[in-house]
Amino acid sequence: MKHLNVAMIGSGFMGKAHALAYANMPVHFYPAPAIPVRKVVVDVSPELAKAAAERLGFEESSTDWREVVNRPDIDIVDICTPNDSHAEIAAEAAWAGKHIICEKPLARNASEAKTMLEAVTAAGVTHAVGFNYRYTPAIRMAKKLLDAGRIGKVLSFRGHYMQDWSADPNTPSSWRFSKATAGSGALGDIGTHVVDTARYLLGDIEAVSSVLATHVTERPASSSAFDQLASGDRSGSGAKVPVDVDDAVYSLLRFSSGAIGTLEATRNARGRHNYLGFEIQGADGTIVFDYERLGELQVMFANDRDDVQGFRTVQAGPFQPYGDKFWPIAGMGTGYLDVKTIECYEFIKAVTEGRQAAPSFEDGYKVELVADAIQTSASTGQWADV
């Protein structure tokens, strides 16, 4: 069986998720299109890199991503670093002819994303951007229903992604609160997942009218080199640093198809932890999804008998997309790792078949175009074309 050597750059929370996905994919998807080999992991210090290799099952560790990316035995470069380094690493990896999977958002803005797309296109490698949620089996099921016309012409899309880990003003700062590193705040971090989901399910977005808000304008500096997210640390090192990105974004969307949409994303929604979801209303039915109950899809068909019409709660299982690859009974529990494992499978399959993955850097770039338009609209107070 074909093996593909992976170099992973960055070993934080996302690195862990990717490492486990590489390990689990060939077990669930058997026989796998190819076996990903955890060859080398890169982090900023030798200690961190070595610990990551041990923990995450990589054969080697390094602090020199550039050297690693250029190693002839590496087939795949997996970019799990903060947003500001994506472009440079991707360019180098493309130049070296490596296939690339890059965590989302692809870049800090569309212009940066464009250079990345150009690099991978010129290199002719397979590229993917880590908008993993579109691989959730229930979302795949939604796509299947839409493609089959089961809810008719799509009229509207209500998308949201709400978290609360930064709602507390004492949650420490991190690279996610810095425009220089992250590009934007909730918009880039989680709003782009909504944009990707919307594009995946309904197609391109043409124009937006948007508002951005920053509810907490300064935060304690972090006492940790790591992204703390919802760790419960609420004081950091004490000193205050300014926040120059958005906490929340609200937008109207106009799709090329004529459908209308709304997008709401915030990291300050008390009680919403990973509340990514949507409601798609069609002429003949409605589909509703909420990632906090990721094993379920709500579907309503207008051609059901009048007296027993209602939203059906469909549980992900053997009869839905990818369901036969996991557990033999519905309702056993789809986890985050399963979603990342499917993402891994689709990327490795694309690499093996010598074709583009989806979502690709092109998708990542188009998402950035929407994100840029949202920022433009928010600052001009006008609709902005994408």
358 binds a copy of itself (CB under 8 A): no
CB-based contacts of 232: which residues, under 8 Å, 6+ apart?
Answer: none
2 binds a copy of itself (CB under 8 A): no
Comparison of 106 and 269: residue with beta carbon closer to a copy of itself? 269
Rounded least distance, CB 288 to a copy of itself, Å: 9
Rounded least distance, CB 20 to a copy of itself, Å: 6
Comparison of 72 and 328: residue with beta carbon closer to a copy of itself? 328
Pairing of strands 205-213, 248-255: antiparallel
Q: Would you give the binding string for a copy of itself spanning residues 107-146, x where CB under 8 A is met?
A: ----------------------------------x--xx-
Rounded least distance, CB 373 to a copy of itself, Å: 14
| Separation between Cα atoms, residue 338 and residue 188, nearest integer Å | 24
| Separation between Cα atoms, residue 284 and residue 213, nearest integer Å | 36
Question: With contacts defined by CB under 8 A, how many residues of the chain interact with a copy of itself?
Answer: 107
Is 199 in contact with 300 (CB distance < 8 Å)? Answer: no
What is the footprint of a copy of itself within residues 66-95 (CB under 8 A)?
Answer: none
362 binds a copy of itself (CB under 8 A): no
| Separation between Cα atoms, residue 10 and residue 78, nearest integer Å | 8
DSSP output for 43-58: -SSHHHHHHHHHHHT-
- End-to-end, the C-alpha distance of the chain in Å comes to 44
Burial class (CB in 10 A: 0-12, 13-18, 19+), 45: exposed
| Separation between Cα atoms, residue 375 and residue 256, nearest integer Å | 20
**Of the candidates 359, 314, 368, which has an alpha carbon nearest to the alpha carbon of residue 128?**
359
Q: Would you give the binding string for a copy of itself spanning residues 24-63, x where CB under 8 A is met?
A: x-xx--xx-----------------------xxx------
What is the footprint of a copy of itself within residues 290-349 (CB under 8 A)?
Answer: 291-296, 299-302, 304, 306-315, 317-320, 324, 326-339
Q: Would you give the binding string for a copy of itself spanning residues 141-180, x where CB under 8 A is met?
A: x--xx----xx---xx-x---xxxx-xxx-----------
Comparison of 298 and 356: residue with beta carbon closer to a copy of itself? 298
CB-based contacts of 42: which residues, under 8 Å, 6+ apart?
Answer: 7, 8, 9, 10, 11, 49, 61, 62, 63, 64, 65, 68
Rounded least distance, CB 210 to a copy of itself, Å: 8
Comparison of 97 and 331: residue with beta carbon closer to a copy of itself? 331
Rounded least distance, CB 92 to a copy of itself, Å: 28
Q: Which helix (H) or strand (E) holds 4?
A: strand 3-9
Comparison of 110 and 294: residue with beta carbon closer to a copy of itself? 294
Comparison of 62 and 228: residue with beta carbon closer to a copy of itself? 228
From 252, 257, 349, 362, residue interacting with a copy of itself (rule: CB under 8 A): 252
181 binds a copy of itself (CB under 8 A): no
From 62, 268, 356, 375, residue interacting with a copy of itself (rule: CB under 8 A): 268
Rounded least distance, CB 95 to a copy of itself, Å: 32
From 200, 250, 278, 345, residue interacting with a copy of itself (rule: CB under 8 A): 250
Comparison of 46 and 333: residue with beta carbon closer to a copy of itself? 333
Q: Would you give the binding string for a copy of itself spanning residues 210-249, x where CB under 8 A is met?
A: xx-x-x-----------xxxxxx---------------x-
**Of the candidates 385, 384, 362, 364, which has an alpha carbon nearest to the alpha carbon of residue 183?**
364
Q: Which helix (H) or strand (E) holds 66?
A: helix 65-69
Comparison of 97 and 258: residue with beta carbon closer to a copy of itself? 258
Q: Which residue shows structure tokens 């074709």? A: 355
Is 237 in contact with 172 (CB distance < 8 Å)? Answer: yes
Residue 18 phi, psi (nearest 5): -65, -40
DSSP letter at 191 equals I
Q: Which residue shows structure tokens 């999977």? A: 101
Comparison of 125 and 212: residue with beta carbon closer to a copy of itself? 212
| Separation between Cα atoms, residue 120 and residue 122, nearest integer Å | 5
